Every structure is written in structure tokens, then in C-alpha cells.
Amino acid sequence: MHHILSRLVPQSVKNSLYHRPLAIIAAVYFGFPGRQLRVIGITGTNGKTTTTQFIARILERSNKKVAMASTINFQIGEKKWTNASKFTTLSPWKLQKFLHDAVAAGCEYAVIETSSHALDQGRVSGIPYEIAVMTNVTREHLDYHQTMAAYRRAKRQLFERARMAVVNLDMEEPEEYLSARRFEKRLSYGIEHDAADLVATDIEETLSGSTFRVRGIACSLHLPGRYNIENALAALGMAELLGIDLGQAAAALGEIAGVPGRMESVPNTRGVSIIIDYAVTPDSLEKLYALIARMRPQSKKIIAVFGACGERDRGKRPIMGAIVSAQADIVILTNEDPYHEDPERIIDEIEQGIVGKEKEKDWFRIFDRRAAIARALSLAGPGDIVVITGKGAEETMAQGDERLPWSERTVILEELGKMR
């Protein structure tokens, strides 16, 4: 019933009569805790979670006490716990309480992954952002925003309220965010544009990580992909604005073993490269598979397992199918998080984009996600690469109003165990 009523009430009405007032009430109730913290907001379509983790680590290694709220986890000082809400940005009441607890714990900084939904709905009202960080803007959430222009405008709101800005110069129309207001300081970064303030050079990549240089400083990441180099540049840009030594910041990034559910490798004795990644947008899938295609051993297969989230932008589903089928040798479509939508219809719509594949030979439709993963592992031989996307490090699967326990990594290890 709640689901039906929510769909009947226009979003603008919910924003003005519920989300924004609740955000202000919560801020007042908890004493505007954001004013006692240096708040850094990270937004963008892809890379927000990784960039948030990078920034928190840099601040920690600079002897700052940090609170962090991201899609996958929370942190207040030494205390860390999983984000089981399936929300990138918390509800107003929970977010203000989180900031209140951070202040009580003696934190100086709060690093908040800030979604376009939270900005549009006013869920972050009452929070004074010191720095706004932009990773990129590509197609996503058009079920909510309707147009890319509206989606971009929602993200711009973070920059209209921040004192300083860090923006990816390689993205489309970066000036929209660099010129959102008269900033105290602003900084750009990139790989393709030499005009950026921070430019990555001398890039070398493998499936296990990458190395590059920024202003002559050697940097290494245990996460592969140029997109992760961009995420690292964003974090280094934040460090630059705060006066943190770039060499020290780069060293902090090199200490990060990985980010759960982001290009996460699953060790095994079969000689297969098994990768878990959250990629849920056309852009993130394209970049992920381009990287894997470049890195795969000659004559070895790429086996893809993926689906699409329910009640989200339906138009991207065939696009995702086309991207994956163009790069993977074997494609397995499966269930993901249908919510209240018909899961078979979701797979139907992804299937519309499948090209150059013969059903039951090099592409399969296996509704049960565990069975789909098991099939992929059974088809893989030494040197092959199995890529499982859509869930990342999430611990539940959303079916209707239920949140069923799920762990991509656990399922993979269990299925590998059955194959011994």
C-alpha cells in the first residue's frame, strides 16, 4: 500500500511537504551538527563510493578524525559498519543523527556521498558543505529526473552551496559545475585534458592495479582502470584544496587494498579471474569491459553475469545489453533487484540489446542469480575472466518489500566449493 501511495503523490509535493521540512526539523533537533564539521560532499554518476573511501583515507593519514557515509559503509572515527539501507545518502533524520554522533565522537571532517535524489529532495538541507567533488555525469536515474538536464541540475545544487569545488575536466560540460558560484577555491583534474590543475601522466595498468604520476609524484593504486585513476585525482584535488601534501596523500591511496564490490577479485584455485563490480550504468559497464578486454590473455574468454535494477531507468537496459554482449564472449542474464517490477520483464528489456550472440550457445537467460553464477563458473577455464556486476558489496536483494540476504562474494565461494 505504501508503495502504491508513494507513486500517486507527485515527487515535487513529497519534496516540499515532507523531505525538505523534515531535513530542517532534523537539523534543528540535533543542533545543526554540520556546522561543527568540515563537510565534504562527493557526487557523480560513477565513482562516488570509491572517491569517498579515498578521501576518508587521505584525511585519516593526515591525522584527522573522520566520519564517512557512503553507499557501502559508514565510519565514525575507528568505528565502521555496513550500510544496509540500499540508500546512497541517508534520510534527513538519520543523516543529521549521524553528523551529531560524529561531532560527539570528536570528528573534524565528515565525508558524505551525496546523491542527486538527496539533493533534489532537499534531504541535505541544513548541511553546510565546505568542498563539493564531482566525478562525472552520465546517463542514470532518468526514471526519477526524466531528463539529463534535470539530472545535471540536481547535482549542480551541491556546488551552489559549497565553498570550494573539485571537478573532472574530462567529463561533459564541466564548466556547469566549475562556474556554479564564485568559489573560494576551485580545482580541476583529468587524464585527457592538459589544462586541468591535476593531470595523470605515465599511466600503466594491469587487472590488479595501476601506476601514474601527478606533478612528478609517483602514485600507485590496487584498483585497476583509468576511471579509478580519475577517482584518485579527485581525492588528491581535495587534498590540494585543504593544503595536505600531495606526496603524503598519494602514499595514503597506495595503502588501500581495495574497495568492497568495486573491481573486487575473488581468489580461487581454478586459475580463473573472478571480478565483482557494482557497475549499473551504461557508462560504468562500458569502461569496465573496455578495461577487461584490454587486459585479458589472448584466446581466453570473458564471461559476463548481470541484470538490471527494477523501478529504475528502463531505457538504459537494452543499452547495457548491447555494451556487455559486444565485449563478452558469453553473456548470462539474471535477476538483480526487481523491487516491485516484474523481474522477467526486466530481463526481456536487457535482452533486446543483445547482439551477435546465439541463445543457449553464447548467451543464456538464467533467472536464479546463484544458478547464473554457478553456470558462469562452470564455463570458465584457467585464464578466463568471469565478471559479475550489479550487486557489488550489497548484502541484500530487493524483491517487493522484502530484503533477502545476499552476498555476491559468499555465493561465489560456495559455488566454487561445490566444484572441487
Predicted local confidence at residue 268, as pLDDT: 95
Among 205, 227, 254, the domain-final residue is 254
Are 211 and 271 in the same domain?
no
Instruction: Tell me the average pLDDT of the chain.
Output: 94
Predicted local confidence at residue 7, as pLDDT: 67
Residue 281 resides in a domain: yes
Average pLDDT over residues 393-408: 94
- Whole-number Cα distances in Å, 406 to 338, 354, 389: 14, 27, 14
Are 182 and 302 in the same domain?
no
Predicted local confidence at residue 3, as pLDDT: 54
Residue 215 resides in a domain: yes
Are 212 and 274 in the same domain?
no
Are 95 and 187 in the same domain?
yes
Are 102 and 163 in the same domain?
yes
Are 81 and 185 in the same domain?
yes
Average pLDDT over residues 51-77: 97
List the CATH number of the domain containing 108.
3.40.1190.10
Are 177 and 203 in the same domain?
yes
Are 335 and 189 in the same domain?
no
Residue 255 has pLDDT above 60, yes or no: yes
CA gyration radius, the chain? 21
Q: What is the pLDDT of residues 155-206, one digit of tens each?
A: 999 999 999 999 999 999 999 999 999 999 999 999 998 999 999 999 999 8
For residue 110, what are the domain limits? 7-254
Residue 259 resides in a domain: no
CA distance 251 to 412: 32
Are 30 and 110 in the same domain?
yes
C-alpha cell, 295: 587486459
Nearest 5 degrees, angle CA 304-CA 362-CA 384?
50
Global pTM value: 0.91
Predicted local confidence at residue 341, as pLDDT: 96
List the CATH number of the domain containing 390.
3.90.190.20
Residue 2 resides in a domain: no
Residue 278 resides in a domain: yes
Among 236, 254, 272, the domain-final residue is 254
C-alpha cell, 359: 541463445
Residue 176 resides in a domain: yes
Q: Strand, helix or coil at 68? A: strand
* Residue labelled with grid coordinates 542514470: 140
Are 234 and 296 in the same domain?
no
Are 123 and 231 in the same domain?
yes
Residue 319 resides in a domain: yes
Domain count, the chain: 2
Least confident of 7-11, 153-157, 391-395: 7-11
CA distance 223 to 2: 41
* Residue labelled with grid coordinates 545535471: 152
